[in-house]
Amino acid sequence: MTQSPPEAYFQIFIPNVEKLALARAQVDEQVGMRLRAGGEITSWEPIRFKVESGIVTDYLANSQAFRLCSQLLRDVIDRNQGERDLIQWLPATVTCLDGEETMYWVLHFPEVADVTHPLKSIYVSGRLIKPVLDLSRIRGRRVFTLTQYAPNLVVAADVRRALEKAGCGGIEFSKMPAA
């Protein structure tokens, strides 16, 4: 009997396309430090972003390098997350070119799952340079990050399909190596 191939995982990126919007916000640097420190955020003032030009997308590039997600993107992730995924949504607003305010969410992971393969991933001076996912450590996870220090986001193949089916914009996928 043949086994089915292991589940594929994809890192999500914001495409490097000039016409896409960049949302800007003046944020106290303590906010970014709190997010990078991990842990549940219990006190949060919604961040106000403003778009000055470009096409506003569901996964919105922003001056803070936060994972800034539209309500549609949040809904798809909420419907498709795994039983072991731990996600926190922090409110934000985006003022678009027409002056309309739209609800967005900062996707925060209170904890970083240890999902990299210890022998196949490449580390330099203790820093993860080339991650290889460890399929035995991922079980029950569909949406996760590899670090609090970068806005990376990893999703399982079925989550990718759901995001594509929903028409979520501002997303590019890169397959992650896994063993």
The full set of domain ranges for the chain reads: 9-175
- Flag whether pLDDT at 68 surpasses 50: yes
Q: What share of the chain is helix, strand, coil (3-state, %, to 5)?
A: 20, 30, 50
Q: What is the pLDDT of residues 72-119, one digit of tens each?
A: 999 999 999 999 999 999 999 999 999 999 999 999 999 998 999 999
Give the per-residue pLDDT at 1. 42
In a 10 Å sphere around its CB, with 0-12 CB exposed, 13-18 middle and 19+ buried, how is residue 165 labelled?
Answer: exposed
Structure tokens at 90: 């922090």
The model's pTM is: 0.91
